[in-house]
Chain A
């Protein structure tokens, strides 16, 4: 079983719709969860971090965490063509290294 799993997509949504991106993780002791956006040929850009169960909102983005189900999601409201990118879910397992374990990413396409 992969440590962090994401559907590779592509997920296609029309402009103005809500895009829902999902991620599951295998290690129950994971504590820190992140969503990165990566445009083609560019490096990952941190867009959301979440540390406790529930929802966290920042502008058009909402991250949702459910530790009991080992599930984290990202909602993008009013999706724009500029949101078209690969979204990477990343998890930190609380060992000394505090390095990120990434999923393979979900490619989002927002259709104008």
Chain B
């Protein structure tokens, strides 16, 4: 499989559930990102990992917990979410060097009931 993959593609969960989103990149990149896209709002950065180390938490509530076990995998653990957290969650990866091109996975469409 090539590029950036995300699972699941769709997720419906209740406010008391715990679930995890998974992202895997096959591009040999060193940086991985989580973004959130809500209806009628610009894409928002959530977390940044460089070489497995978290370098940015963009004031994200603690009910979102990222994990990056290696440079190819990124998880977003979800617990006690709110209906307003319903959105498209996008993972992206970026290679090294001066060029900062980021490539996105297909996203997980999350609905919180």
Interface positions of A (Cβ within 8 A of B): 4, 32, 34, 36, 41-46, 49, 51, 88, 90, 92, 96-105
Whole-angstrom distance between the alpha carbons of A51 and B55 in the complex?
24
Q: Which secondary structure dominates chain B's binding surface? A: strand
Shortest CB-to-CB span from A70 to chain B, Å, is 18
Q: How many A-B pairs fall under 8 Å by CB?
A: 56
Q: Which of B42-50, B63-71, B78-86 contacts A (4 or more CB under 8 A)?
A: B42-50
Q: In the complex, which range does the number of interface residues on chain B fall in?
A: 20 to 34
Given the contacts A98-B94, A102-B42, A43 and B104 also touching, CB distance less than 8 Å: yes
Whole-angstrom distance between the alpha carbons of A81 and B94 in the complex?
31
A92: chain B residues within 8 A (beta carbon) = 100
Q: Is the CB of B42 within 8 A of A100?
A: no
Q: Is the CB of B45 within 8 A of A43?
A: no
